[in-house]
Structures are given as structure tokens and as C-alpha cells.
Amino acid sequence: MTAVSDRRQLAYIAAQAADARVNVELEAEGMTLNIGPQHPATHGTLRIVARLDGEQVIEADPIMGYMHRGYEKLTEVRTYPQVTTLINRIDWLGSFANEVPFILAAEQLMDVEAPPRAQHIRTILFELARIANVTLFLGDMGVQLGAVTPVFYAFRDREHVLNQIEAATGGRFHPNFDRIGGLKDDLPAGWIEETKKSLKEIRKFCDQMDDLIVGNEIFQARTRGIGVIPADVGLSYGLSGANIRASGVDWDLRRDNPVGLVYDKVDWKVWTHPDGDSFARYWVRLQEVRESCNIVEQLLDTIPSGPVMAKVPRIIKVPEGEAYIETENPLGVMGYYVVSKGGLNPFRVKIRSASFSNMSISPWLLKGAYVPDVITILASLYFILGDIDR
Amino acid sequence: MTDTTDAPEEAEVVDEARTALLEAITDEWGDAIVDHHLIPGKDLWIRVTSEAFGDTADYLRDRQRFRYFNWLSAVDWMPSPFGRSMDAEVDKLISAKAGEAVEEEEAEEAGTGYAGGDTRFQVIARVNNLTTLLGVTVKADVPDDSLTVGTWTKAFPGSDWHEREMFEMYGISFAGHPGLRNLYLPGDFEGHPMRKDFPLLARIVKPWPGIVDVEPMPPLANSLSPDGETPGGESADAPSTTNPGDSQ
């Protein structure tokens, strides 16, 4: 299990680029292959028009918009508390995490701070959303390579976490639980113990995936050295989350800029991998789920007492100003640029979603890849269509 | 709220880094910086001239080591001609009955946001420096006559899709972009949906119904009326606010 060395990586990239260049220079006609819009690898409806030369992709052009719901426009005719209902549906697998940066941005504009207990519970739910989201990826990656079993394990064990999210918030997928100034409700009785139990199941699941997938020879052969993203390319495309950490960039907003969340009170580690290939992205996410379990377990033991809601006006008016808050969401950096003109509803909300930037590298990344690898690379980038199209 | 021992000190430290950055940028970039806005400990905005916008990307990346391209977007500062599209008579009646201040229809003024602005459209871009962990938001006015600014794709290839999105949503062109075409919308779509004068048809076909359920709202836990905004309205009408701690 030696890591792919830098030299091999660079040689691979150079070979791929040279191949693609030769094909373009020869003006090889090739064929056009439509991948999608309905393809299980796309987590929604993404269409990729790939121009092929034999088995190799010369040019890939992703076509989005099949799921564009215009949330940026719709936020302009919603009051601030109503916006959370919409943005829940951006990354539908980790919904609670979508609400947090928007609420934090509104809180910054209003100069309100959530009480310590609310911040604490927010962080717990934020991490549970991450676990629920990334767990599915860990199983789904197997499906893209032809191993169907892991995804059933993923659906089974994700349920433990979803049950806890439902018990606390009332919603399995769309909690709509975060409020400006705190949370809607306190935690129910017995929730902490139950959550600890569910985390044990998740840890067991991670070990299973370690054995079933990471240690699997076929998986390694299909992912190592495939879809290599060098760090500087990743940065210039705005890659974030596990995708950029798998390229060796040690940057995690949870540690580096934990606005409004309590990650600084926990002892945890940011995982990185030097390779930047599909395998590294899987490996980093696997470690991150374990780390999230670690974070939540520590937080569950140290929840401070007190109210879960700060004193905020009944009718929420946000003073004039602009704020940009970003957090480390399950898929990567998610941020909201909120422009307020002092009214009941935002004047402009720019949603910086992780998958949009993560996918913008795909035309570059898929150039020179082989057709079966296209699916692996897309799956390892891990995008949710709602997060691209918004 | 009352403990002010640590907070100001902390804010000043972060402020220093951002002030130093701002000084370095204004020193080197000179006249191209039209205006700036700094919130100590929070964020930094700089506004550059529309001619300099394209080159700002190269400058920030190469000279200030802002290697991480975060996003690029735009704002239409024109007030919406359709109002809020969410005012229903029934809401006002209920608010008045509850003693709450009724929202008057105010004509929105054309704002300019932080660091000002002179034109209807502004482009906003954000880059990060992963070493100092600072982010900077760059703004530039989009000339009203040409609606064109320089592209960022030369410095940051990731800007490609962001600029295509702004092209279709606002009709802003980016000079030097390799392939400016619609990203989400069909190629033959007419209009620019994110502009304020593009109507949200769903709201015009079927206006906002307001509060359909006319039962009084339950008292809010832990939430008090703001000082001065709704004088005595809640306490007189609604039952006393309960604390969840008392009832359980």
C-alpha cells in the first residue's frame, strides 16, 4: 500500500495531456457520448457530453440546469426566517448544514449571537448532517465500481443518524431547525445516549467500508492514480472540502475559521492525503466520518446549560449591510453572501455552493480519462445536483 | 454581553492583518482602488475601477498570494419595480390586530452597499489566502453602456462557470472569456432572470396569499418584543410568554 509518488503522478498527468493533445492536433473525429441526464452516478440530473477518441475522452462538457430552482431569486421574496425552508433543499443529504451559514450571516448583520448551548447543539447537528451525507458517499462509491453491497450498508447505517436528526428536529431530511438567534427547540430527553449509540454503529460501518472497499484490490486498481488533481489546479478552480484536502491542502474552515460553531472546544484532526486521486478522496472522506464521530462524542459530553434562543425581535428586520459567511459543509465550503437593505427580506443572496465549484474542474479533469474512469472520477468528486444547480 | 475583556483585543489583532493587507493593496494598486470597507475582525471589501477588474485577479494571486478562487457574482442595485411581491392585505390586518407595527409600503432606494457604487450592476468576486486565512471581496462597477468587465479566467480557470452564470443571469459580459454562453438556461432563453426588473412570474400569476390560517400564533418561547419597535403589543394581547424550563 505505498502511496503514488509525485513523479508517477506527474508522469500520468503529462501522458494524459499529451494523448489528448495529439488527438486534438490530428483532429480525430471520434464519437460523441451523452452521459446522463439520468445516470445513477450523477445524484440528480447532470448531462455530460463527452467527445471520445476510442475509449478516451477528448473533451467533456457538463450541461447543467435540469434542476435549477432559482433559489437566489426566490430568497428575494422571502422573509429571513422563510429562507431556511428553501435552502434546506440545496444539498438535500446534509440539510441542516445548509441552514447554518445563512443564519450566521443574518446574525452577523443583526449583531445577534446565539447562546452557548445553541451554538453547541448547532455544531452537533452540523456534524450529524455531515455523517449522514458522507456515509452515503462511502457506500455509493462502491456502486459506481460495480459493488452493490456497500450502498445497502450505507442506507442501513445512515438511518441511525437520520433517526437522531429526526428525534431532535422533527425532520429526517429537511430539519428547518436553525433560527436567527439560536434553535427552534432544545434536545429531547435521552437524545444524548441514543446518539452515542448511533455513532457506534457509524464507526462499525466505517470499519466495514475500510475492509470492504479501501482494502479491496479492484477498488484500488480502479481509483489509484485516476483523476489526479494537483493542489494548485484545485485551488484555482475553487475546489473545497475533502476534494482539496485529498490533494494535500491542509485547509478546513472548521479549524481555520469556525464562525459561530464550537470546533475550537474539541480535540480533533484535519485529515489530508498527498495523492489527489480518486482513492485519496475516498480515503479522506472515510477518515472524516470517523473524525466527525469523534467530534460529536466529545461535544455530547460538554453541552453547556442555558437557553437555546437569544432575545430577538418577533418580526425580524435585518439592518442594512453585507455579510459573507462560509462554513465547511459535508460537500465542501458553502457560503452565503447576504446583502440587506434593512427590510424584512434579503435584497440579494449569493449562494456559494460547494458542488458548483467542485464540478467546475470536471472539464479539465475528464480530459484524457477513459470512459469507465469518468464514472469513478465523478463519483469521487462527490457532488449533489441540488448543490450545483441551486 | 457584559464581558468585554477579551473581545476587543482579539478583534484588533485580526484587524491589524487586514489593515496591513489593505495598505499594501492601496500602495501598490493606487488609483485603481476606488473605495474600501473594513469591518474589524470580520471582512474586507475593496472596490476597483471597472477597467482594473480583470487585472485585479492576477495581482491578488501573484503579489498577495490569494491563490484560492472562491466565487464570482453580481448584484443588481436597482430597486425591484414589483415591490416585495409578498404583501397581502390579510397579513396587515392580523399584524394590526396583534398590535404589531404594520409594514408600510416604502419605496426602496437604490443602494450602493459597502464601498459604494455608481452603476446599476456590480460584479463581486472573492478570493482567499490560505496561508494568512484572510479573504477579500473585490467589487467593481459594470459600465451601464457596455455591461462588460474583464475576465478572471486567465488567473483563475475556475471563474469560467461563475462568469457564464453571471452572463445569463444578469447579461454581464466578460471580455476575454473563452466561451461565454448560457450555463443553466436553454440557449434561446430571453431575458436575464436575476435582474430586478425580470418578474418572478409565479408571484404575478398567483399573488402571495398571506397568512391563510387565521388562528393566533402561539406565544414564542424566549423571545421578547424588541425595545421600542412594538410597544406593549404582545404582552397586552397574547398570553404571557412561557419559558420552556418552567413548563417541563
Test B229 with A315 for CB contact under 8 angstroms.
Answer: yes
- List the CATH number of the domain containing A139: 1.10.645.10
Chain A residues whose beta carbon lies within 8 Å of the beta carbon of residue B184: 64-65, 68, 389
What are the residue boundaries of the structural domains of chain B, listed by start?
Answer: 1-77+112-193, 81-111+207-237
Residues A28 and A117 in one domain: no
Residues A11 and A99 in one domain: no
Residues A375 and A270 in one domain: yes
Residues A186 and A281 in one domain: yes
Q: pLDDT-based confidence at B35, cuts 50/70/90?
A: confident
Query: Could you say which of A29, A44, A63 is where a domain stops?
Result: A63
Residues A358 and A381 in one domain: yes
CA distance from start to end of chain A: 40
Furthest C-alpha separation in chain A: 70
Q: pLDDT-based confidence at A126, cuts 50/70/90?
A: very high
Test B194 with A73 for CB contact under 8 angstroms.
Answer: yes
Q: Are B33 and B8 in contact (CB under 8 A)?
A: no
Test B68 with A238 for CB contact under 8 angstroms.
Answer: yes
pTM of the model: 0.81
Residues A322 and A384 in one domain: yes
Q: Work out the minimum CA distance from A277 to partner chain B, whole angstroms.
A: 19
A76 touches chain B (CB under 8 A): yes
Q: What architecture does CATH give domain B1-77+112-193? A: 2-Layer Sandwich (3.30)
A231 touches chain B (CB under 8 A): no
Interface of A with B in 249-268 (CB under 8 A): 249, 251, 256-257
pLDDT at B225: 47
Chain A residues whose beta carbon lies within 8 Å of the beta carbon of residue B155: 236
A73 touches chain B (CB under 8 A): yes
Test A314 with B230 for CB contact under 8 angstroms.
Answer: yes
Q: pLDDT-based confidence at B143, cuts 50/70/90?
A: confident
Neighbours of A322 (CB within 10 A): 25
Interface of A with B in 178-207 (CB under 8 A): 181-182, 185-186
Test A73 with B45 for CB contact under 8 angstroms.
Answer: no
How many A/B residue pairs have CB atoms within 8 Å? 136
Test A339 with B75 for CB contact under 8 angstroms.
Answer: yes
pLDDT of B179 above 50: yes
Look at residue A1 and tell me if it is in a domain: no
Residues A117 and A26 in one domain: no
**What is the extent of the structural domain holding A40?**
6-63
Residues A114 and A25 in one domain: no
Residues facing B74 on adjacent strands: B123
pLDDT in tens, A82-94: 888 888 888 888 8
Query: Could you say which of A45, A63, A81 is where a domain stops?
Result: A63
Chain A residue with minimal CA distance to B223? A311
Q: Are B192 and B169 in contact (CB under 8 A)?
A: yes
Look at residue A194 and tell me if it is in a domain: yes
Chain B residues whose beta carbon lies within 8 Å of the beta carbon of residue A320: 111
Neighbours of B235 (CB within 10 A): 14
pLDDT in tens, A5-41: 667 777 777 777 777 666 555 555 678 888 777 766 5
Residues A155 and A12 in one domain: no
pLDDT at B91: 61
Cα within 13 Å of Cα(A159), Cβ side = 6
Residues A49 and A156 in one domain: no
pLDDT in tens, B94-125: 566 666 555 555 555 566 777 777 788 889 99
pLDDT in tens, A136-195: 888 888 888 888 888 889 988 889 999 999 998 888 888 888 888 888 888 888 899 989
pLDDT of B248 above 50: no
Q: pLDDT-based confidence at A295, cuts 50/70/90?
A: very high
pLDDT at B48: 87
pLDDT in tens, B189-246: 888 888 888 887 777 777 777 666 666 666 765 555 444 444 433 433 444 344 443 3
Look at residue A384 and tell me if it is in a domain: yes
B157 touches chain A (CB under 8 A): yes
pLDDT in tens, A339-355: 888 778 888 899 998 88
C-alpha grid cell for residue B176? 476575454
pLDDT at B231: 40
Look at residue A370 and tell me if it is in a domain: yes
Residues A43 and A113 in one domain: no
C-alpha grid cell for residue B131? 496561508
Residues A16 and A93 in one domain: no
Q: Based on the structure, what is the number of domains in chain A?
A: 2
Report how far Cα B122 is from the mean position of its chain's Cα atoms.
11
Q: What is the mean pLDDT of chain A?
A: 85
A61 touches chain B (CB under 8 A): no
Q: Work out the minimum CA distance from B27 to partner chain A, whole angstroms.
A: 26
B76 touches chain A (CB under 8 A): yes
At position A210, the amino acid (one-letter code) is D
